[in-house]
Amino acid sequence: MPTVTLSTYLRITRASALFDILVVAPFATPWTFKLLVPQLERLNLWMGGAPLASFAQIHILITCLMGSLVLLWSVRRLLEPSLALGRYDGAGRFLFAAWMLWALAEGGLPLVWLFLVPELLWGVAQWWPVAPMRTAQRVNRAGLKLVHAT
């Protein structure tokens, strides 16, 4: 299986973080979410789904808590990407995808496809094999200081 270099992997991790910030920002506050819901409902109807259920305050609270957490996690990955954070994010994406598949199976929410497909693609990208750093290991054994440029 082909591999990517660590620097490419870190760019993928940053790109996924930036994608998440753009997509999730409207879910992070009650005010932005209330502006987003009618757009989501129109999109779901256009895709052949049912009208969205009305959101009680508890639903908005949970949505905004999740949106806020994803934003914080995304900023962390954007500013300090690493192989470990990318792998954790990939695992989280597969978990989120499982719940999205559940929602699709329940019916009436075709707009979930618009979230599911990128989630799976970013998950695969962040679980893609990274080439071993043989050159860096050789240089390190020679007693030279390693400088990692991201």
Q: How far apart are CA 29 and CA 65, in angstroms?
A: 8
Model confidence at 133, in pLDDT bands (50, 70, 90)? Answer: confident
Q: pLDDT (tens digit, 9 = 90+) per residue, 72-113? A: 999 999 999 999 999 999 999 999 999 999 999 999 899 999
pLDDT score recorded for residue 98: 98
Range scoring the smallest mean pLDDT among 40-49, 83-92, 132-141: 132-141
> Is residue 134's pLDDT more than 90?
no
**In the chain, pLDDT over 90 holds for what percent of residues?**
86
| Distance (Å) of CA 142 to CA 3, 46, 130, 132, 135 | 26, 62, 23, 18, 11
**pTM, full prediction:** 0.84
Distance of CA 33 to the CA centre of its chain: 18
Task: Give residue 60's pLDDT band: very low, low, confident or very high (50, 70, 90).
Answer: very high
Q: Say whether pLDDT at 45 is over 50.
A: yes
Distance of CA 95 to the CA centre of its chain: 11
> How far is Cα 149 from Cα 65, in angstroms, rounded to an integer?
34
What is the average pLDDT score of the chain?
91
